[in-house]
Amino acid sequence: MSESWIAGINPVEGALNNDAERVRELLVENGQRNARVQALVERARALKIAVHHRPREQLDKLAGEARHQGVLARYEPPPMAGEADLPALLEQAGERTLVLVLDGVTDPHNLGACLRSAAAAQATAVIVPKDRAVGLTPVVRRASAGGADRVPLIAVTNLARTLRVLKDAGVWITGLDGDTETSIYDVDLKGPVALVMGSEGEGMRRLTRETCDFVAKIPMPGGMESLNVSVATGIVLFEALRQRGALR
């Protein structure tokens, strides 16, 4: 996988804290005096990572649309986990298995936010279809606030087949869709479970929905038709944790 640039204080800090061996160098804006940036410089040098000072224009160009805050890290991302890695992750998690499945989340900010929530909930893995996902771009990493380094992201060729693999491993699958009368708060999420979220506009695909054991919705008494997928993801993940007693 090719190298990329991580932009901004929090994402760079997350990379240094969680995956420093893949950070190749830091670029710092000339004249930068921000105390947190200086702390990153000191941390990088302690880790024997090269630090270079460059004009702001160069950082702007490398960061693209991302807000770099005067610091960039050149990072070599690890290979994304594959379908072959899933059985070992499920075996290790056992009864605590909590998998998040994103069926076509293509907005990088939403994917990053979902990874952040998944990491906060100690999810076993996040599964996405290869042909309907954005991948681990720098924008995704920034939006994940370090979550991309804490939870395995698995890209699969055939999502329906992967859901059947989960079922064969004893994982119960609940899909989220507003077109049902069942509330997510009435579904048992205490054992090994996978939670399936649909795309931002179309929701779950038909075959994905048909593969689920349960289909539930998040009740919205305020009359809104739907929630942003990353907001909905946080709600259902932490409902699973609540039922498991992990929030006490």
What percent of the chain clears pLDDT 70, i.e. is strictly above it?
97
Task: Write the pLDDT tens digit of every residue in 123-164.
Answer: 999 999 988 767 777 778 778 877 887 899 999 999 999 999
Mean pLDDT calculated for residue range 55-60: 95
Distance from the first to the final alpha carbon of the chain? 41
Count Cβ atoms within 10 A of the Cβ of residue 202 and give its class: 0-12 exposed, 13-18 middle, 19 or more buried: exposed
Mean pLDDT calculated for residue range 205-212: 91
Residue written as tokens 């000339």?
30
175 pLDDT above the threshold of 90: yes
196 pLDDT above the threshold of 70: yes
Tell me yes or no: is domain 83-243 CATH 3.40.1280.10: yes
d(CA 29, CA 55): 6
- Residue 1's pLDDT band, with cuts at 50, 70 and 90, is very low
Structure tokens at 86: 């899933």
Please state the domain extents for the chain. 4-75, 83-243
Under 8 Å between Cβ of 3 and 75: yes
Q: In what order do the strands lie in the sheet with 153-156?
A: 153-156, 125-129, 98-103, 193-198, 172-176, 214-216
pTM: 0.79
Mean pLDDT calculated for residue range 82-111: 92
Count Cβ atoms within 10 A of the Cβ of residue 35 and give its class: 0-12 exposed, 13-18 middle, 19 or more buried: exposed
User: What rounded mean pLDDT belongs to the chain?
Assistant: 89
- Number of other residues whose CB lies within 10 A of the CB of residue 91: 10
Task: Name the architecture of domain 4-75.
Answer: 2-Layer Sandwich (3.30)
Task: Write the pLDDT tens digit of every residue in 137-148.
Answer: 777 877 887 788
Q: Do domains 4-75 and 83-243 have the same CATH topology?
A: no
Give SS3 for 226.
coil
Pairing of β 214-216 and β 172-176: parallel
Query: What is the identity of the amino acid at 158?
Result: N
Write the CB contacts of 67 (distance below 8 Å, at least 6 apart in sequence). Answer: 7, 8
